[in-house]
Amino acid sequence: MPFRVNLRLLDEDEEALQLEGDVPVEEYGTDLVDPLMRFAEPLHYKLTVDKQPDGILLQGTLTAGLVCECARCLKSFKLEIKIDSFAALAPLTGEGALVQEEDFGDLTPFLREDIYLALPTNPLCKPECRGLARKASTRDSRLEAAAGEGPTPWAALDQLKL
């Protein structure tokens, strides 16, 4: 099920609604075309939903889970995207307005957008991943030898200090 709210209920109720639930991958994640990343878990939302004069205000937390391949070492790993202070306004009219069907408005696109924006451009199994090539010891020694011949990063730093 997409994330839909009963707009009439929001109209009648002056209190904001507290909503928590999951949007399955097929409802939010299938547009991700990336050879290194795919959504593997439902998009979980925990939100305050409040009707404002100019739209529906959503505030809360979003989490989504992906299976990725590291861009450097090709290892498969899980990545969790978490947005702690998510906030979006779903306009009721005009451009980009909430899609309404009878009493229900579909809020899924407003959650999706921020999750997609939070995706890494290059997924890495860990920030300091050095990739496959340098793991081989023969390669390591060659790199060290090469580094000894030319100026080292430390030399460059020394020059900066002068």
Q: Select the span of 14-22, 56-64, 68-76, 114-122 touching Zn ion (CB under 5 A).
A: 68-76
Question: Which residue in the set 7, 47, 81, 125 belongs to the binding site for Zn ion (CB under 5 A)?
Answer: 125
Nearer to Zn ion, 56 or 68 (CB): 68
Strand, coil or helix: what is 120? coil
The gap from C-alpha 116 to its chain's centroid, in whole angstroms, comes to: 5
Nearer to Zn ion, 29 or 123 (CB): 123
Q: Select the span of 6-14, 53-61, 119-127, 147-155 touching Zn ion (CB under 5 A).
A: 119-127
Q: Does 72 bind Zn ion (CB under 5 A)?
A: yes
Q: Which is nearest to 69 in space by CA: 79, 83, 55, 56?
A: 79
Token pair, residue 43, equals 């998009």
Tell me the CA distances in angstroms from 33 to 67, 116, 125, one per residue in order.
Answer: 13, 11, 19
Size of the site for Zn ion (CB under 5 A): 6
Nearer to Zn ion, 16 or 129 (CB): 129
96-101 CB contacts, 8 Å cutoff, 24+ apart:
98/55, 98/56, 100/7, 101/4
The minimum distance between CB 75 and Zn ion, in angstroms, equals: 5
Nearer to Zn ion, 70 or 88 (CB): 70
- Tell me how crowded residue 66 is: count the other CB atoms within 10 A of its CB: 23
The minimum distance between CB 124 and Zn ion, in angstroms, equals: 6
Q: Give residues in contact with Zn ion (CB under 5 A).
A: 70, 72-73, 75, 125, 129
